Amino acid sequence: GLSLAGMDVWAWVFSFIALACITLGTLLQKKIKQAPQQVMPLQFLLTLLMCFVLLPQTTVPTDFSFGYWMPVLWPGVVISVVAQLLLYKLIQGGNVVNITSFFYLVPIVTAILDFLVWGHAMSLTEIFGMAAIVLGIVLGKIVVLGGCGIIKKKTNGDVRHRCFYVE
């Protein structure tokens, strides 16, 4: 469980500073009117530069083998760069609410991969939690009214209703 025992005060301080910087960056980023494909390379380049600047300060042992680079490059390149570019592409072409609601599936996919790759069994609480997440996503996508979901869409001032069914 979570415990304060053995936690350095500086870890908490820097965590809150990071949270404040992320929040401030998100608020400031709303003002940027450029396409993400134009802005993201600069953000990633500056982040990489800061990592290289801070690398000599670290005490983490590195051996620069394949076993080192694969876990570093996967979240650094695939998850950060490719996944974010894919996200922005999906947002441009679709409904933002439908796309972002699938972020809630990340813990489920992670737990399933943990089971398939490492063989870590899931507890009943974790399985119920995953079911609750899926149920929340389904309920968030449809409003049940008399066995039928209602979508309200304003077109030229009038509201149109459409019934759909989940198969």
What confidence tens digit (pLDDT) does each residue in 128-161 have?
999 999 998 888 776 544 445 444 444 555 545 5
pLDDT confidence of residue 167: 41
Choose the most confident range, by mean pLDDT, from 83-87, 97-101, 142-146, 151-155.
83-87
pTM of this prediction? 0.48
pLDDT confidence of residue 87: 76
pLDDT confidence of residue 96: 67
More confident residue, 67 or 129: 129
pLDDT confidence of residue 140: 74
With bands split at pLDDT 50, 70 and 90, how would you rate the model's confidence at 163?
low
pLDDT confidence of residue 104: 84
pLDDT more than 70, % of the chain: 77
Residue 132 to residue 135: CA distance in whole angstroms = 5
Segment among 5-9, 26-30, 98-102, 153-157 with least mean pLDDT: 153-157
Provide the sign of the torsion angle of the four alpha carbons 55, 56, 61, 64, taken in this order: positive
What is the residue-averaged pLDDT of the chain?
76
Encoded tokens for 85 = 């570019």
- Give the mean pLDDT of 76-105: 75
With bands split at pLDDT 50, 70 and 90, how would you rate the model's confidence at 6?
low
Q: Which of 111, 130, 131 is nearest to 121 (CA)?
A: 111
Encoded tokens for 151 = 């979508």
Residue 39 to residue 35: CA distance in whole angstroms = 7
pLDDT confidence of residue 32: 75
Q: Which of 93, 90, 104 is nearest to 141 (CA)?
A: 104
Helix H or strand E encompassing 165:
none
